[in-house]
Copies of this chain bind each other. A is one copy, B any other.
Amino acid sequence: MAYDKQLPKKSDDISGWYNALVLQAELAEYGPAKGTMILRPYGYAIWELVQKKLDAAFKANDVENAYFPIFIPESLLQKEKNHLEGFSPELAIVTIGGGEVLQEKLVVRPTSETIMYASYSKWVKSWRDLPIMINQWNSAVRWEKRTYLFLRTTEFLWQEGHTAHATHNEALATRQWAMDTYAQLFHDSYSLPGYIGLKSATETFAGAKSTMTYETLMPGGKALQSATSHDLGQNFAEAFDIKFQDKEGKTELVWQTCWGLSTRSLGGLFMVHGDDKGLRLPPELAPIQAIILPIRATDELQAYINQTKKDLLDIGVRVKIDDRDGESLGFKINKWELKGVPIRIEIGEKERAEGKVKIVRRDTGESAMVDTNQLQKTISELLVKIQKNLFDQAEIALAEHTHTSGDYEDFKQQMSDSKGFIKANWCGDSHCEDTIKSETTATTRCKTDSTVEGNCIYCSKPHAAEWYFAQSY
């Protein structure tokens, strides 16, 4: 019974609060092997809602799912040099199989470019075989020294989309489509606004030509890279010899993209919307959207409660009755506030006598008595309102913590005081980027969409584009 333990205050201790929240709300817990995480049913149900939405969007764009093995022979991973260098320090390696030391070591999938593209090179012969648009729902393993539930785990769940196209333009359009799909998911389901743009060379995915990212703001002022979409150019096509005959009969290399979103994004969801009482889930991603708490249920009252549940099920609301024995009403209220259920419905003899139910919003704490004949309308409208309110609150926080700076001393001061995003011009030189990082721990998060150039915040060189800087998870 975790629900009677007090959470640390979010504003006092963001890390302590977050960790306690994830554990007490039964979203996840630490696995027995260092760095791993157990996704408990309540946390996994949220991931299933994400999967359902993304999978439908992928299929609507003719993306097909497939499954490639978890074991990648070391030699395959070595084919693209930058890719190998990027992932080498993080690998988990199988050296024993079936009681014998293996002749060739097997890497546990850190990402699937190499194993997938080895197949693509066999599958593609003609322009008629293109595009290839394949997605996988699986887990990936990247060794982590420090664990942070959801945000940094050695194994994480994700989807990875991998495409091959006849032209660079088509690949770029697909890279953009994937990011648009993520952006819509973050807006409509996560209620998480964010900044979208290209990464600097240093922050680009190992082996990619360029990386587009969705960056969200966490309370405490750090940024979270929440989804990425990459233009791979022809780097892997060359390494894996993925060629096709075009309509004129010429042999060409394909152009590729890949894009992914992981359970890491759920960490952002919990951290941004949660408060001192626990989670606040946006209705679109709430496994339970409305919880009914009976107050001293008699047989007569039970029928009334069942009818309420049925009315809500009928309009597609994910609703449950908590009739668990041996817990007080107060205990249950705390429990479901901790678990972030958007709407609580309390029903006792008083409510039944009046033909009403009491409803309480998790996001604002507001309550109201609602006539049962108005219930369906009220609840469906309220779910939309709560979804929007959470987005609006996060958008205000993002705006409040996004500043512009034209002076490096001011930049350093701001990054040390209030953190958040700072828009500043940067010349593109990795020396400036590195120095800013070592002096402020802030990195370039992505390019802004501004076309106005200025002087580099560090070296003052002119014609420098504008970038978002922030500290990050």
Chain A positions within 8 Å of B, measured between CB atoms, are: 1, 29, 31-33, 36-41, 44-45, 47-48, 64-73, 76, 88-99, 105-106, 108, 115, 118-119, 125-126, 128, 134, 138-139, 141, 143-145, 154-155, 157, 324-326
Contact = CB atoms under 8 A, between A and B. Distances in A.
A69 B90 CA distance: 17
A108 B128 contact: no
Contact of A44 (B1, B66, B90, B143): B66
Nearest to A142: B98
A115 B39 contact: no
Contacts of A36: 69-71
Contact of A32 (B1, B44, B76): B76
B32 A115 contact: yes
Given A41-B64, A324-B128, A31 B69 contact: yes
A32 B118 CA distance: 9
B89 A98 contact: yes
How many copies of this chain sit in the oligomeric assembly? 2
Given A32-B76, A33-B73, A72-B32, A98 B45 contact: no
Contacts of A32: 69, 72-73, 76, 115, 118
Nearest to A63: B41
A37 B37 CA distance: 27
Among A29, A47, A99: residue with most chain B CB under 10 A = A99
Contacts of A44: 64-67
Contacts of A144: 98
Given A32-B73, A76-B32, A99-B89, A326 B39 contact: no
A94 B71 contact: no
Given A32-B118, A67-B44, A128 B37 contact: no
Given A32-B115, A92-B97, 4 more contacts: A32-B76, A45-B65, A95-B96, A108-B108
Contact of A143 (B64, B98, B126, B145): B98
B115 A31 contact: yes
B67 A39 contact: yes
Given A32-B118, A38-B68, A94 B97 contact: no
Contact of A66 (B39, B72, B108, B134): B39
18 contacts: A1-B125, A32-B72, A32-B115, A32-B118, A33-B72, A39-B68, A41-B64, A67-B139, A69-B155, A70-B155, A88-B99, A90-B98, A93-B94, A93-B95, A93-B96, A95-B96, A128-B324, A128-B325
Contact of A119 (B29, B72, B108, B325): B29
Q: Is the interface of A mostly helix, strand, loop or mixed?
A: mixed
Contact of A95 (B31, B45, B95): B95
A67 B153 CA distance: 13
B98 A41 contact: no
Contacts of A90: 98
A106 B326 contact: no
A33 to B, nearest CB: 4
A66 B95 contact: no
Q: Which of A32, A106, A108 has the most CB of B within 10 A?
A: A32
Contacts of A73: 32-33
B324 A69 contact: no
A48 B94 CA distance: 29
Contacts of A145: 98
B96 A92 contact: yes
Given A32-B118, A70-B141, A72-B32, A92 B94 contact: yes
Contacts of A99: 88-89, 91, 143
A91 B119 CA distance: 27
A36 B91 CA distance: 19
Given A97-B92, A108-B108, A33 B65 contact: no
Contacts of A119: 29, 38
Contacts of A65: 41, 44-45, 48
Contacts of A97: 91-93, 143, 154
Contacts of A45: 64-65
B143 A37 contact: no
A69 B33 contact: yes
A108 B91 contact: no
Contacts of A71: 31, 33, 36, 92, 141, 154-155
A118 B36 CA distance: 14
A94 B35 CA distance: 14
